Structure 1
Amino acid sequence: MQLTHSLLLLVAATVTSTFARDCKPGYNYCGHNLLGIGKYLDQMAQEAADNNRDSGNAMVQYLYKCVDEGDRAGPGVIEFIEDCSHGDGWHCSDNGSGSNDSCEPGS
């Protein structure tokens, strides 16, 4: 009985996290936030290559849009917007849940 209960909790947690792991269409995300979700590394690298950008550690400072329209739209699809490290002290800023991330100057 205990094993069955544990297995059900594990399955429920897995299903919940699977559905909660897509980006929200229409929102902008910093690369470091997409990596935190855990399934975007390949898409980020492809977007970097498609836009002639470094696909290494620099990707954490790139800003991406979760696509909500057009040919590429679909659950969890992203596209490159810009490299936030383009100026002295600039970085990709996590603006919190329900808000777009953005490129911001350093303080």
Structure 2
Amino acid sequence: MLMDKPRRGFWCPCWTEDLTDEMQWPALRATFDACSAPQADRRVAIALRAISPALDPDASDITWTIRPVVFLPPARRQDIQLPPCAYVFKPQAGSSTSGAPD
């Protein structure tokens, strides 16, 4: 469903951390959006029941957060030229895409 104006909702990211490796940054494992707080809570509960049997409780830590957000409508790009820098951008070799510092 396309939206034409901002709408309130909830953003729910899941992070895991390897407790046996103190140098490792938490890793983003999944995210989802929800329309209401009860819906977000139900989805997190279902996801935790699904994935927790696969985690070693002595070696992993999992964190789900539920944050209120405002979702913006997608930008319309029909007939819009991207700036020239968009076509010459090249990621640096060995750069991390996880968002965590190297």
Q: TM-score interval w.r.t. the shorter chain?
A: under 0.3
Where relative contact order (Cα < 8 A, 6+ residues apart) is larger, the structure is 2
Which protein has the bigger helix share?
A: 1
TM-score by length of 2: 0.20
TM-score by length of 1: 0.20
Which protein has the bigger strand share?
A: 2
